Amino acid sequence: MLRELLETGAPILADAAIETRIMFETRVRMDPHIQVAALLERPRGRAALREIYATYLDVAWAHGLPIVMGTPTFRASRRYVERTRRPAAETVRRLNTEAVAFLNEIRDQGEHDPVFLAGVIGPYGDAYSPDDCLTHLDGADYHLEQVRALAEAGVDALFAPTFPSIEEAHGVAMAMATTELPYAIGFVLDHRGRMLDGTYLHDAIERIDNAVVPAPAWYAISCVHPTVARRALADLASAGGLTRLREVKANGSRLSPDELVSLDHSESDDPDVFGEAMDKLGLDFKLQILGGCCGTDSGHLAALARRLEARAK
């Protein structure tokens, strides 16, 4: 059903921040290694996650928009699980399976439809450090374990956001292509609008499209301010690759992600400023899926959703 909806070009809402809302809106502590995935193991953590996801579903319902919700599994992969001294293979499978079941439960208890679940796969290393990345072959091997766990748990799509290097982005695409699910790659960019390893966006898309079968259903930009996304999209349009990039999940602040998480409070643009900037991005560059990342909340998503609803009429 998601594939068919993508073909219509209708606007689709994506969810917004999870980690920064846990940090700044709750007293729940995240595991330093697997972060929000560990909240699934504690009643208090599950309650906090449930409340945040519910606010995003409420926004989609209020504005009559389809929504894509990502599983809280950005760091639920072997490297981070091993750092917690849990049994790796068993824990990777359990955390990813439980995350999908958790979101399915939230979806089934709500009244809104359609709601699509995207299985989220984060990079091997720090998302903001291209030096801590895998080659494409090693990346394919590493990410396959989590890809299989999410696919078997029953997600509607796979999403690999915030990848800083083309090598590992190529590798995770290879792993996701082994399933029959639609999948997307999300790049994190520097202030010039390039990947953090210096790769131009159009070169990254061309490389993966030419090397991986089936190719991603779409590409995304994630974890950057709308102004950075605009710069990158303008360059991509001039290079002729705009039709393959259909999603932006943007930060609410111009601060870097490292600066944002070092604060003791949330820092972001006013929701209406964010909503207007994102809606204009969508209109100017024909983007279909729009949502938030670090520093955003349900207020930011609602400001965007109001504009998407008006556009859909």
Q: Is residue 105 part of a domain?
A: yes
Q: Are residues 157 and 182 in contact, defined by beta-carbon separation less than 8 angstroms?
A: yes
pLDDT band at 254 (very low <50, low <70, confident <90, very high): confident
Nearest CA to 29 among 81, 98, 50, 38? 38
Summarize pLDDT for 112-163 with one digit per residue, the tens.
999 999 999 999 999 999 999 999 999 999 999 999 999 999 999 999 999 9
Query: Domain containing 289: what range?
Result: 8-312
Q: Is 294 annotated as a binding residue?
A: yes
Q: Is residue 2 part of a domain?
A: no
Q: Is residue 237 part of a domain?
A: yes
Q: Is residue 308 part of a domain?
A: yes
| The pLDDT of residue 189 | 95
Surface-to-core class of residue 286, CB atoms within 10 Å of its CB (0-12 exposed, 13-18 middle, 19+ buried) = middle
Q: Is residue 272 part of a domain?
A: yes
* % of the chain at pLDDT higher than 90: 91
Q: Where is pLDDT greater, at 27 or 313?
A: 27
Q: Are residues 278 and 305 in contact, defined by beta-carbon separation less than 8 angstroms?
A: no
Euclidean distance between CA atoms 227 and 307, whole angstroms: 18
Q: Is residue 1 part of a domain?
A: no
- Which residues on adjacent β-strands are paired with residue 292? 250
pLDDT band at 312 (very low <50, low <70, confident <90, very high): low
Q: Is residue 138 part of a domain?
A: yes
Q: Is residue 3 part of a domain?
A: no
Q: Is 293 annotated as a binding residue?
A: yes
Summarize pLDDT for 41-93 with one digit per residue, the tens.
999 999 999 999 999 999 999 999 999 999 999 999 999 999 999 999 999 99
Task: Give the CATH number of the domain where residue 82 resides.
Answer: 3.20.20.330
- The number of folded domains in the chain is 1
With 70 as the cut, is the pLDDT of residue 260 above it?
A: no
